[in-house]
Structure 1
Amino acid sequence: MAEPGLRERKKQRTREAISNAAFALFEESGFDGVSVADIAAAAEVSKPTLFAYFPTKEDLVLHRFSDREGGPAEVVRGRAPGASPLAALRRRFLDGLDRREILTGLNDTPQALVFHNLLYSTPSLAARLTAHMLRAEAALAETLAEADADADDDGVSARVAAAQIFGTQRVLADRNADDMRAGRSADDVHPEAVARAETAFDLLEHGLAARFGKAVR
């Protein structure tokens, strides 16, 4: 892959400077206590320049979702020959834990803690995040339907599977983030996070009946 040119590197540095300035201000004053003008001034750019990189204030936080490479639909499409969609998604989540990716919740850097605190405390961010996740879930469902060409249920099974996968990853990430906010280190939590992920993906792979299909007496 060719290295980005000077223009692209300059744009990336500007984008990072804006994002870093925003997070520093959000950490100090909260999301609602910071204006776009404040962020532009801190990043030493104009408001039009800021909006060219981040169309809304919420995007300054949520670009960590929207900029993510290898989202679930892409993971399924790019899986190795012979690998199942679920196996590819399991491997991708476990790799994310190993790399301490912010979206797995297993990241104890100051910026990651600010990121998760903002998501959990700001209604406008939660609403935008929900919309983004629903779009990503729909894309995964479409990709799963393509992988299950013999299905004849109008994609219902693929949509149910996508919802379960997204729900599983959200629960795992939330638990990891809770541990980080409680002051635990990512390195200490990592073995537990891996075990939880393996258990959760086993449930997805083998179904709920073995754990939750028994009649209540």
Structure 2
Amino acid sequence: MYKFLINFFKRNQHIEATDIMKKYLIVGLGNIGEKYANTRHNIGFKVLDALAAEENVVFETQKLGDIAICKIKGKSLLLLKPSTYMNLSGKAVLYWLTKENIPLENVLIITDDLNLAFGSIRLKTKGSDGGHNGLKDIQDKLKTTNYNRFRFGISDDFSKGKQIDYVLSEWNSEESEKLKERLDKSIELIKSFVLSGVNITMNSFNGK
């Protein structure tokens, strides 16, 4: 009987650890409110909206953000759009990471990047915040720069001193026309990250 109980607990611990490794936190960065909905800075929200639509799931407002959950081949993806505004994104990330007991390596942060040409996508496992206030707060709250980030290029086509106006402005007509294909590619990247891992995904998608 004693050996049976030991084996039972060992199996349960293994199952619990396996379940944890199947959970992913996919975070799209942006600002809440209709006036920000179609701005460059909100590409993280836009990517998650596209993924949720494809998987036929709906966001619900919960603590510190809007949440949707979808299943992809046995993996559970918790999609998070923080409601804390960009500069306090880390608060929502840390809360849901802790609440759902998700390993840091299973976190993916989606953000805009001024240093990449429009539509370029790049996945990295670590790095600086690059002056991005959302990433800066996540780094501060998680106490590390070693977390996966998916950077979506929005280019730097603005004049000196106009950066804030640029990132908070809406896509131009040419960008809007190309955005659907880029969102589809972004969804492919996220699914690859979950199903194939970060290294294979970086090799397959970076610069594409």
TM over 0.5: no
- Structure of larger gyration radius: 1
Structure with greater strand share of residues? 2
Greater relative contact order structure (CA < 8 Å, 6+ sep): 2
More helix by share: 1
